[in-house]
Amino acid sequence: QCLYQFLAFVPPSNGSLTKPGTASVMVDTQHPLTLVLNSSVGDRELCKVQYHFGEFGNYSLVVKTLNASTKTVSCVVTINERPINSYLPILFAFLVYNGIFTVLIVVRLFMKIDPVRNWVYKKLNPRETDRLINSELGSPNTTDSINCDPAPHSWSTASRQRLHSLDTFRGLSLVIMVFVNYGGGKYWFFKHESWNGLTVADLVFPWFVFIMGTSIALSLSSMLRWGSSKWKVLRKILWRSFLLILLGIIVVNPNYCLGPLSWDNLRIPGVLQRLGLTYLVVAALELLFTRAESGTWEGRYPALQDILPYWPQWIFILMLEVVWLCLTLLLPVPDCPRGYLGPGGIGDFGNYPNCTGGAAGYIDRLLLGEKHIYQHPSSSVIYQTTMPYDPEGILGTINSIVMAFLGLQAGKITLFYKDQHKQIMIRFVIWSIVMGIISAILTKCSKEEGFIPINKNLWSISYVTTTGCFAFILLSLVYYLVDVKKFWSGAPFFYPGMNSILVYIGHEVFEDYFPFKWKMQDSQSHAEHLTQNLTATTLWVIISYLLYRRRIFWKI
């Protein structure tokens, strides 16, 4: 439903058959395009062609007059040069990383063989070999001299009992987020969707919010169990929220590209700001109703023991969602239809050019001011919007709280069904199915035609339920592989998951510094962009591994 945009004027051929009128243009290859040829006299539509052009292909739209008297023409797309296979760099990168992981696995297996391990230690440090074997590593005959668990032996029992699946899940989300923020190889599916819809890039932030909620349930339960008072825990919650918001505004602020920050152009919302506010609300809500001991609930419905004791929390969350629905669908917005969820610009046939985001955009502009929100939203790429719009705005924070609350529910499941792996995974799958059903109803299983479409910019409730559905499934899979069967240690994602704040802030601050970025020979090459972005992401994984080995963790 976009307005047609002028592409080119084709000059007349003046009756010449050897030198027809021509015009050269560059077109988008992400979406199928509809090309309309209009007569320069009377603006009459002559023909219409829909075609999905391939990347770096060379095409001709050949226009011929079939009948001069009736002014009928034919339009045919011909291929001059076939488009390239732009996905080959992804295949090559996959093979390279697969080879690296295979070598590491083989090395780890060889290191479990006593003679090989002892020979390696002897070569690395011959003077200390005997002492290492007899003290830190144990005798060569001990079965646990090398543990495939990533946690060092000297750590406490409580540390070893930490759910590695949570850190692995967090690290996976963070690694994808870093890769996406660095450019994602300039592939469209590693960029945020312009408006409605879902790409890989749109999954990672809600997953990070989700696992933050899971961690809240476990950490608050642990602190209270070890004797911390609720007032002391509340002070920690307030302090951590304040630091996250402060870091987001001062350190990780996109308006630095405009020069030194000033109040005139300071962006107030942001990723860390939203994390801080979401953490504050969900952690305080959980602290208010949590118990130091999570024994079996003795109510009428033991199958709902992780839900019914906390009915006030659910009422609060449902009330928040009602507020979001009422403001989004019922708030009057000047010069916009009530309940408008579109991108504005040339979308919806250009009828509402200044209505980007509907009520969500209006509230941000009204309360924060146009200069204090994000100036280049993803909607400007396709829909040519001119209004500033912030995807981390005020109204969307309500649904990020809902997302974190779903993660909190996952944490409660692991607490109430501790060591009952089958029950935990069944609950995760049930929650995933419930979220999927809600998403199907809200969206009518379509991208554009549902009651409430999936939309990352709006953080629509269907976006939350859909990404929540995927989060429960992914967490159950990681939990099974890492903590139940121990088929996988969680590496390499486990390491950035243990230092998530440092990695996130670091990758933002050093984004334009070598070796995370360098001048490319061909800025249009997927291969070069992918190489640069994967190199930068891998470096942060290596940095987090080295920090982990030195037991350096930046906690807020």
Q: What is the radius of gyration, based on Cα positions, of the chain? A: 28
CB neighbour class for 464 (10 Å; exposed up to 12, middle 13-18, buried from 19): buried
Burial annotation 7-18 (CB, 10 A radius, 16+ → b, else e): eeeeeeeeeeee
Task: State how far the Cα of 424 lies from the Cα of 311, in Å rounded to an integer.
Answer: 20
The count of residues in the chain is: 556
**Distance from chain centroid for Cα 532:** 20
Enter the DSSP assignment of 76.
E
Residue 365, class by beta-carbon neighbours within 10 Å (0-12 exposed, 13-18 middle, 19+ buried)? buried
Which residue intervals of 417-549 are DSSP H helices?
421-443, 461-479, 494-498, 500-509, 526-549
Q: Catalytic one among 192, 372, 526, 529?
A: 192
Please state, in angstroms and rounded to a whole number, the distance separating the CA atoms of residues 183 and 317.
35
Residue 424, Cβ neighbours under 10 Å: how many? Answer: 23
Cα–Cα distance between 330 and 325 in angstroms, integer?
8
Q: Which position has the token pair 């010449």?
A: 16
Residue 185 Rama label (left phi>0; alpha psi -120 to 50; beta):
left
Sign for the pseudo-dihedral over CA of 484, 486, 488, 489? positive
529 is a catalytic site residue: no
Residue 413's contacts (CB-CB under 8 Å, 6 or more residues apart) are 306, 424, 427, 428
In 10 A of CB 343, how many CB atoms? 32
Q: Which letter does DSSP use for residue 455 in this model?
A: B
Q: Which of 177, 310, 287, 202 is nearest to 240 (CA)?
A: 287
Burial 70-79 (b: 16+ CB within 10 A, else e): eeeeeeeeee
Q: Between the CA of residue 271 and those of 67, 204, 408, 556, what are the distances in Å?
A: 60, 12, 19, 16
8 Å CB contact between 198 and 190: no
What letter represents residue 514's amino acid?
A: F
DSSP state of 196: B
Q: Please give the span between the terminal C-alpha atoms of the chain, in angstroms, as a whole number.
A: 46
Cis peptide, bond prior to residue 492, ω within 30 of zero:
yes
- Tokens for 368? 């924060």
Distinct helix (H) and strand (E) counts, the chain: 17, 4
Indicate which residues carry an active-site annotation.
Answer: 192
